[in-house]
Structure 1
Amino acid sequence: MTRVQLAQQHLQQGRADLAIPLLRQQLEQVPQDAMAWKLAGFAWHEEQYETEAVHAFSQAAALQPSDASTLMALAQSRFFAGYSAVDHFYQLTTLTPGDLNAYRGLALALAADGEYSLAEQLLVQNLAAHPLWLDGHKLLSSMRFTSGDASHFSDNYRQACTQQPQQLALWLDWFRSHAQLKQWPQCQQILGLAEQRCGKHLQLTLARLFVAAESGDTAKAALLFAETSQVQDPVRAMALTRFQLRHGELKAAEQSALPWLQTVSATVFWPYISLIWRMLGAQSGEQRAWWLDTEPMQVKAFDLQLSTTELNVLCSVLRSLHKAKAPFAQQSVRGGTQTDQNILLRHEQPLHLLKHKLKTAVQSYVEQLPTALATHPLLGRTRDRSLQGRCRFSGSWSTLLKTQGFNVSHTHPSGWLSAALHLEIPTAKQLGQAPAGWLQFGAPPAELQLPLDPQLQHQPQAGTLVLFPATLWHNTVPFESGERLTLAFDIEPQPFISGEPG
């Protein structure tokens, strides 16, 4: 087996770190090996060194300028790294005019360069020719919403559903675009039209069930839950768990959620199990909530020793990325904005230096965790040192909250650990009476109306990183004036010790 073949095998096994040395050796001896450069780009990308990936893909593209897959990799890598990728995506659309992914990438690249009108025009044109292009519809409606259009952001779905009235997937995506905003009358209207055009479908019934349960239509929700009692679906189970919690049916909610802890949906259900066990514990003195939250809670603060100059530079870089006028519909931000993409992949040197400090803090946090517990969502993960050194960010973003801004209580199902690095905090006078502007843990979502107080409150300090379990409910408290800038991230989950998902 050649070095390139062995490197490719390592990549397929998820060990890009083992592929990189082999590819370096190959390129030292054969610098014109386009495949080796391309594989090196994928390896660096997997290791989340995006600027190195850009260099490798650039070398591969120079050697094979007509290879569409290499050009796509280069364009995407430039976009992830925060470089302009417009020219590369334009070139790709010329090379592969039928590839809608290339047009999606071009629209994102144009928007990143501030060319919102061109990006919207490009999507509108392609959707006119391809009305069933779901990714295009999602991107266009999201772009319009974050640009401040809260009234007509989903008009593209309306037009497509008129053209293709029997395409259930279009109706469901249109429904979801309003459901994530809790716009229940619009949801009901869309579902009614969908049933007229497509007839009865289980997915439409589940959507109606979700709306009834979340909007407070108790009688209708109860009927729909009974009608779908034999359906094994995580969306239904989550709606039922929340519905039962709202109505104080704690044991029933527990029975609805527990089976899903053995599935890939476990990280979505563990936070609700925490609320249920806390409520049951308050009634009967049960200790399961203590076990789950590993009292004292695993929330730890790390002073990253950032100088005033370093803080100011980071604030400047992050503020430049806050271009949206409104937060994304599915995010927890209220009264501010949140960036998209994984900003710790970007090329700016201050972010590279910060990334090293963050990884060091994460490793320190993991090393301080209590003894492993095979069935625990936090403590049941593998902690092999070789994996710790390769911790991956499953997401990273910045949040800019303004006067009266806050984050609603939420969790991060795609992470194992979550973090908030406070970079700019309003003055004590601007914040108002404590705990205004503080980070809170353990407060349930307000819409559940549960009599549970936060378990822990953290006063933010500029330059302090707070690490905590990704399944832990957390929110920020509104503040009177000023601006609150943070960088947040999730750490990708490691495998469970037992090999089970929950």
Structure 2
Amino acid sequence: MMALNWLQIGLAKRDLQDMEGALEALERAVAETATNPVAAFAYAQVLFETGRNAVSAFERATALDPANPHLIRTYAAALAAEGEAERAQSILMDTLNQHPQWLDGHKSLATLRVAIGRRDEFDESYHRAIAALPDSLSLRLAHVHLLSTARAWDDARACVQEAIHRLGPNRGLEIARLSIESESNGPKGQDPNLFETVADVVDPGLDLCRVRHAFRCGAIDAALARAETYRNTRQARLFWPYLSLGWRLTNNPAAAWLDGSGDDYVCAIDLGLSLDELADLAANLRDLHTAQAPYLEQSVKGGTQTDRQLFFRPIPILQRVREKITGAVHTFLDDLPAPREGHPLLSPPRDRPILFEGSWSVLLKAGGFHSVHTHPMGWISSALHVELPSETNAGPAPAGYLQFGEAPPELNLGLGPTHQLAPKAGTLVLFPSTHWHRTVPIEAGERLSLAFDIRQPA
């Protein structure tokens, strides 16, 4: 078979999440055409995605395609994963010195620095690049977005003001300024007319901020009206959770149509894991918790989260658990009510292969918890509890519980949880990705879990 065919087969198997099959095919492709940069990159990428040592493969790939920014970014991630974080930073910084407007590179370096505990200098490359290119609007907006994600509101606000002083009035900077004012609950954070200066701008990200702002100001009807416009769009999954809040606040029966009554769409399934299997799973998961701090965009507070897809790793216990989980998801789908047109959980087809949008582990320390959030990239989300603190260490109930339905506290809506589940080791909890959920902090001990999102089928 020609090498090009092996490359195509490898990429197709990767798309189907048959990672071992993809690796085998791509290895053949590289063996038959050692100078093909696409095959070399794909092979290194799959090595990295499956948790294998990939640095040497990336070095061969970069020799063939030294100017490919996507390759350099993943090469740096592989170096960091294999304990060479300083070298990873050096490669990213060298490339950024040559290409200061490489926005993905800035974000990768900032993310790496947070993960290795260097939060105090996580955005240093942005400052350097802006000093070199002070008139670059894209650089300044990317920096502001990073600071906003990190909830470093004072720094974000200062960066916007500096950019306006340098570049003059600008629509993008005005949107950033207003979004920061709203999300940080600044002096005008309760002004219902805050976004009037950009009333003509139609943008999903801005509209999501407008919806949140309307809720914060008590303008429930306005929030609902704007969110409703996205029901039949590709961005609908961003807005369903907010429609749920608005419908509950207005006693609209659509809330029950969307979320069910109580725990209709929340299912707890015992995976039948033995104590030895749970111990094996816990030991392997703990080995993967190498980060020093949670990533900026995650809901984890007081703990860490693993990187890359857990279920792509050829670790026997993980693959056994993946198989059990796939069966549990099929059971969950079989037990759902009949399809409902337009419903985010019930309308997609249920006879397609189960694909994972992401799979990861979370280790929470004393005081750790998940803040209120949803999973807009998923269709069905989950929590598999693996190790739990004793009841004494966890604290009085509902410490450590998984709670659903509570509104984000920063919106000041006063909507508490609709239902909750006590965690149990070996029990998988499945629920719609649009459900608001959080975990209640534990007082002491550690809580180890595994989670994933199921990709919505096309």
Same fold (TM over 0.5): yes
Spell out the pairing of 1:7-22 with structure 2 (5 A cutoff): none
1:350 alignment counterpart: 317
Q: State whether residues 383 and 452 of structure 2, in contact with CA within 8 Å, keep that contact through their aligned partners in structure 1.
A: yes
What percent of counterpart residues are identical? 40
Instruction: Read off the aligned partner of 2:246 and give its amino acid letter.
Output: I
Residues 1:231 and 2:194 are matched in the alignment: no
2:335 alignment counterpart: 368
1:278 alignment counterpart: 248
Write the distance in 1 (CA, Å) between the matches of 2:177 and 2:233.
25
Match among 425, 430, 434 for residue 467 of structure 1: 430
Residues 1:144 and 2:107 are matched in the alignment: no
CA displacement, residues 68-90 of structure 1 (integer Å, 9 cap, x when unaligned): 10000000010001111100111
3-state SS of 2:196 partner: helix
Match among 451, 455, 458 for residue 492 of structure 1: 455
Spell out the pairing of 1:47-62 with structure 2 (5 A cutoff): 47-62=16-31
1:399 alignment counterpart: 362
Write the distance in 2 (CA, Å) between the matches of 1:44 and 1:318.
26
1:449 alignment counterpart: 412
- The verdict on how the C-alpha distance between 1:144 and 1:72 changes in structure 2, with shifts beyond 3 A counting, is same
Q: State whether residues 41 and 53 of structure 1, in contact with CA within 8 Å, keep that contact through their aligned partners in structure 2.
A: yes
RMSD value over aligned CA atoms?
A: 1.3
3-state SS of 2:358 partner: strand
Q: State whether residues 192 and 214 of structure 2, in contact with CA within 8 Å, keep that contact through their aligned partners in structure 1.
A: no
Instruction: Read off the aligned partner of 2:240 and give its amino acid letter.
Output: W
**Structure 2 unmatched runs, 5+:** none
1:291 alignment counterpart: 257
2:235 alignment counterpart: 265
1:9 alignment counterpart: none
**Deviation at 1:222?**
4.5
Write the distance in 2 (CA, Å) between the matches of 1:267 and 1:100.
30
Spell out the pairing of 1:210-221 with structure 2 (5 A cutoff): 210-217=179-186, 219=188
**Deviation at 1:414?**
0.6
Q: State whether residues 232 and 342 of structure 2, in contact with CA within 8 Å, keep that contact through their aligned partners in structure 1.
A: no
2:211 alignment counterpart: 241
Residues 1:85 and 2:54 are matched in the alignment: yes
CA displacement, residues 103-158 of structure 1 (integer Å, 9 cap, x when unaligned): 21210110110111111111111111111111111100111112112221101000
3-state SS of 1:262 partner: coil
Q: State whether residues 192 and 217 of structure 2, in contact with CA within 8 Å, keep that contact through their aligned partners in structure 1.
A: no
CA displacement, residues 249-287 of structure 1 (integer Å, 9 cap, x when unaligned): 211211121102222111111101101111111xxxx32
Spell out the pairing of 1:2-401 with structure 2 (5 A cutoff): 32-217=1-186, 219=188, 222-281=192-251, 286-296=252-262, 297-383=264-350, 385=351, 387=352, 390-401=353-364
Write the distance in 2 (CA, Å) between the matches of 1:305 and 1:393.
21
Q: State whether residues 49 and 312 of structure 2, in contact with CA within 8 Å, keep that contact through their aligned partners in structure 1.
A: yes
Write the distance in 1 (CA, Å) between the matches of 2:112 and 2:280.
28
CA displacement, residues 421-460 of structure 1 (integer Å, 9 cap, x when unaligned): 1111111111110000110011111111221110111111
Instruction: Read off the aligned partner of 1:352 and give its amino acid letter.
Output: Q
Q: State whether residues 117 and 293 of structure 2, in contact with CA within 8 Å, keep that contact through their aligned partners in structure 1.
A: yes
CA displacement, residues 268-316 of structure 1 (integer Å, 9 cap, x when unaligned): 11101101111111xxxx3221111122430001100011111111111
- The verdict on how the C-alpha distance between 1:218 and 1:238 changes in structure 2, with shifts beyond 3 A counting, is farther
Write the distance in 2 (CA, Å) between the matches of 1:468 and 1:222.
34
Write the distance in 1 (CA, Å) between the matches of 2:150 and 2:60.
37
Write the distance in 1 (CA, Å) between the matches of 2:50 and 2:87.
22
Q: Which runs of 4+ in 1 moved over 6 A?
A: none
In the comparison of the two structures, how many residue pairs are matched? 456
TM-score by length of 2: 0.97
Instruction: Read off the aligned partner of 2:241 and give its amino acid letter.
Output: P
Q: State whether residues 205 and 224 of structure 1, in contact with CA within 8 Å, keep that contact through their aligned partners in structure 2.
A: no
**Deviation at 1:353?**
1.3
3-state SS of 1:468 partner: strand
Write the distance in 2 (CA, Å) between the matches of 1:226 and 1:130.
37
Q: State whether residues 356 and 452 of structure 2, in contact with CA within 8 Å, keep that contact through their aligned partners in structure 1.
A: yes
Instruction: Read off the aligned partner of 1:169 and give its amino acid letter.
Output: S
Relative to structure 2, which stretch is displaced further, 300-309 or 253-262?
253-262
**Deviation at 1:209?**
1.1
Q: State whether residues 123 and 140 of structure 1, in contact with CA within 8 Å, keep that contact through their aligned partners in structure 2.
A: yes
2:397 alignment counterpart: 434
Q: State whether residues 405 and 435 of structure 2, in contact with CA within 8 Å, keep that contact through their aligned partners in structure 1.
A: yes
Write the distance in 1 (CA, Å) between the matches of 2:188 and 2:290.
43
Instruction: Read off the aligned partner of 1:150 and give its amino acid letter.
Output: R
